[in-house]
Structure 1
Amino acid sequence: MSAHVDAAVADLGRMIAVDTSFPPGLGYDDFAGLMEELVAPLGFATERVAVPEALWRVPNGPAAGPRTNLIASHSSGRPACGLYFHVDTVPAAAGWETAPLRLERDDDRLIGLGAADMKGCIAAVLLALRAARVCGVALAYDPMLLFCTDEEGGLYPGIRYLAEQGRLPDHTLNFNGSAEARIWAGCFGLFNLLVRIHGQAVHAGEGNRKGSGLNAIDAALPLLNALTELKEKVATRISALPPPPGKPPLAAQLNLAAISGGTAGGQVPALVELTVNRRYAPEERFEEALAEIEEVIRRSTAAMPGLSVETALVGHLMPTADPAGPHWPRWQAAMGAGFGYAPEEFRKWGAASCSDFGWVQRATGQSEVLLGGLGRPDRNIHSPGEYTTVPDIVSLAKSVLAYLAVDFRPDINPDLPSSQS
């Protein structure tokens, strides 16, 4: 794998060049086409599964274009193991020093939007599967590759739809995680609330005259202040989830994630749009967290006659409960084999970052979710200059191949007959 990693780097460059940023998520069809091309030589059959528009369409919401998911599989009668990737990225933020949709290589650094989260993981898994094919490695599982939409922000994620349709295998490796020696303990939930404040546009020269116009930006100021106060209150709510080593306890969060309004200096602005992002701990109830924000909106915008306010939920990821299960010891051993971690180096922790696998747990009733990936604290995930490294891609590929191989730790493979374990 180390000798052939350049092919994986080339794959990653092609993936990054396809803009799958959400919002709006217009590149999913093109990305599915690229994946079909890359997995065909490995003998996979592919199927495109689109999330029905009625499930994800929100008036004035952030999404546009078909939500095309791709399942790649082949069946030999072995148990299936899902290998999950979300194909969407966040939009490129201001501050990139390189072109975010063009892979840049700086020695072992591979820089580009989605390099770590999580297109680099796809490149690593393809590298592992090619090695298995070329070297004739006998597999314990039939890999099922799941290329899924809309994890970023949680707008009816593709993996949720596949789970609800009964399309998932009995256990799945989720690559939306870390390259560190980590055992996943679960994570927070998330929702995004779009707030639209409607005023009345008039000539800016008339804007200060009583009864003339209604400035939507002025009307938004009390709401912004009220949400800032609520943000401090929310941050006092501490979760019992174990935090990452050396980090403070995990706390609930409220963020003012996006705002836009107005058209020109010569016109009183008639519309402000604000997106509120709320990360809620497993101990909190979604309904109560949403109602708390909606009450703040109602109170802070009630004083201005003629103002109208509408809200819409434009994304929701449920908390992921404790994902432990019978396959975790072997996946931990595979991560150790690939990255060189000793068993005593592994620690169990949760995160205030979120996952679409809370929906999978709810839909399937299966709690176990294996987690790995290319995340590390310094990799600028969701930030300018996001990167992964060539050694991490090789190490993840080794971990995946070890886990899939029939002769790796058969003593702790719960899916082998007892005579072989």
Structure 2
Amino acid sequence: MPWDEQDSLEPYEASIDRLNMAGPLLGATGWIDELAQLVAVDTSVPAVAGCDALAALLQDQFAPLGFDMRRIPLDSGPVDGPRLHLVAARRTGRPICTIPLLMDTAAPNAHWTRPPLTLTRQGSRLYGLGTVSMKGAIAAVWAALRVADAVGLKLRFDPLLLFTTDGAARRWPGLRHLAEQRVAEGHVLWLNGPVAPRIWAGSLGSLDLEIEVSDCAASRTGEAGSAAKPILEALSRLQSDLRRRTSRLPAPPDAGGGMLRPKLSVVSVRGDESGASPDCKLLVQRSFTAEEGYAVALQELRSAVASGIREAPGCKVESRVSRRLEPVVDPDHGPNWSRWLRALSWGFGFSPNSFRRWGGAGGSAIGFMQQAGIREILAGGLLRRGQRLHGADEHTTVEDVEALSRAVLAYLADVPQIPDYS
């Protein structure tokens, strides 16, 4: 029966029965076909050519589940390419759980051995661009909501779905815009993480700084490259200083323990000698702790660049931030984490005693949600150890998508307590 036909609360046993009934039916929802349609839409950056097609597809998928869909234009900030923000809401007066679902992917590289925009099944493996991040998660959420409707399982939270071509590699992540527009409500369920019994402790922030050295007084070949050397030496000194700092975030278990440390990496050094005056471009990435903060991290970088410039007079040096991601602080300090851990156990079969608290070294656009006032962020996902998001032959499995779907279903279900995994 439809999820909203009953007005009275069901007895505890009946709710548990419906939850137990729903789990085995996930495979019958047709979610693999839905995922295939999502993968077939090209949302690779920077073009994100399939924005309108994807909006129409999501409307077809989620509107029949009772969601009101609306598009939010991006009317501020430096826009670098097409964007789509689609908000799906189903409001019944229950507390809100916001679920951000990113839709853009990196462009496929030449190492793919299967068509990246076609969902290819090999045994239980499902190959396709975005299957791990995050089109597989969209399919998992859709299947959970679809099966809950099918068995008449009421939800204790009203899900608020934020579909966005977020573009974490861009200057202006879409989640930052949505956060600043105060679109998100309640607490957040973030499904762009690993398959692991993890209590997410948060993550470091990060920024990318582009440095360009040009118009050197001497125009001989290699002058700009030579002028960049003192800058690189100054950055190396800062790099050594950062090795002595620590955050208060525990490192992942496979990192050997200890605490996460801020880092500085020179991602690329490119010279251009085609013009009358050669130039050199550097891309530097700096991760930073919440205690340091973005402003301090950026000032230290620019101070290091300035000290190098003093050793290379006669050159023009410019820098700009090409990407910024805020840290996430104590996302597990909230009332819903214990329920989410039970849901993960019920979905994936994790032992309750296997959960460990650790943080992430990479920045995340979800940090802007915290800056907008949402403190509690639950985390899960489809990323397996050894996988690279959007890498060649990206794939997930039928078992992992259905396990994530079971976890989401159990978490959202209106049952007083999620049953033990058996």
Q: Same fold (TM over 0.5)?
A: yes
2:302 equivalent among 294, 297, 308 = 294
1:262 equivalent among 232, 256, 272 = 272
1:190 equivalent among 206, 212, 215 = 206
Q: Secondary structure at the match of 1:143?
A: strand
Could you report, residue by residue, the CA deviation over 1:57-105 in whole angstroms, capped at 9, with x for unpaired residues?
Answer: 4xxxxx223x321101122232222111222333445643334444332
Deviation at 1:216, TM superposition (A): 4.0
The TM-score with structure 1 as length reference comes to 0.83
Paired AA for residue 383 in structure 1: G
Q: Secondary structure at the match of 1:231?
A: helix
Instruction: Specify whether residues 9 and 272 from structure 1 end up closer, same or farther in structure 2 by C-alpha distance, changes over 3 A only.
Output: farther
2:366 equivalent among 339, 352, 357 = 357
Matched-pair contact (CA < 8 Å) for 2:38–2:54: yes
Deviation at 1:333, TM superposition (A): 0.9
Distance 1:98 1:268 in 2: 45
Distance 2:278 2:42 in 1: 32
Q: Secondary structure at the match of 2:113?
A: coil
Instruction: Specify whether residues 258 and 18 from structure 1 end up closer, same or farther in structure 2 by C-alpha distance, changes over 3 A only.
Output: farther
The TM-score with structure 2 as length reference comes to 0.83
Matched-pair contact (CA < 8 Å) for 2:203–2:359: yes
Matched-pair contact (CA < 8 Å) for 2:234–2:307: no
1:328 equivalent among 321, 337, 342 = 337
Deviation at 1:30, TM superposition (A): 4.2
1:78 equivalent among 94, 100, 109 = 94
Distance 2:110 2:261 in 1: 27
Could you report, residue by residue, the CA deviation over 1:34-65 in whole angstroms, capped at 9, with x for unpaired residues?
Answer: 32232122221111112224x134xxxxx223
Instruction: Specify whether residues 99 and 279 from structure 1 end up closer, same or farther in structure 2 by C-alpha distance, changes over 3 A only.
Output: farther
RMSD: 2.9
1:89-128 alignment to 2 at 5 Å?
89-93=105-109, 95-128=111-144
Residues 1:148 and 2:164 are matched in the alignment = yes
Residues 1:51 and 2:69 are matched in the alignment = no
Distance 1:27 1:270 in 2: 39
Q: Secondary structure at the match of 1:195?
A: strand
Counterpart of 1:15 in structure 2 is 38
Counterpart of 1:285 in structure 2 is 293
Instruction: Specify whether residues 189 and 133 from structure 1 end up closer, same or farther in structure 2 by C-alpha distance, changes over 3 A only.
Output: same
Distance 2:227 2:120 in 1: 44
Paired AA for residue 333 in structure 1: R
- Identify which range, 377-386 or 320-329, moves more after superposition: 377-386
Paired AA for residue 161 in structure 2: L
Gaps of 5+ in 2: 1-24
Counterpart of 1:33 in structure 2 is 56
Deviation at 1:280, TM superposition (A): 1.0
Distance 1:96 1:233 in 2: 40
2:413 equivalent among 359, 384, 405 = 405
Deviation at 1:191, TM superposition (A): 1.1
1:166 equivalent among 165, 174, 182 = 182
Instruction: Specify whether residues 229 and 374 from structure 1 end up closer, same or farther in structure 2 by C-alpha distance, changes over 3 A only.
Output: same
Paired AA for residue 147 in structure 2: A
Q: Between Structure 1 and Structure 2, how many residues are aligned? A: 392
- Identify which range, 304-313 or 225-234, moves more after superposition: 225-234
- Identify which range, 26-35 or 385-394, moves more after superposition: 26-35
Distance 1:277 1:24 in 2: 24
Matched-pair contact (CA < 8 Å) for 2:198–2:356: yes
Matched-pair contact (CA < 8 Å) for 2:207–2:286: yes
Paired AA for residue 41 in structure 1: P
Distance 1:213 1:179 in 2: 51
- Identify which range, 332-341 or 17-26, moves more after superposition: 17-26
Percent of aligned pairs with the same amino acid: 37
Deviation at 1:369, TM superposition (A): 1.0
Matched-pair contact (CA < 8 Å) for 2:204–2:363: yes
Distance 1:134 1:222 in 2: 65
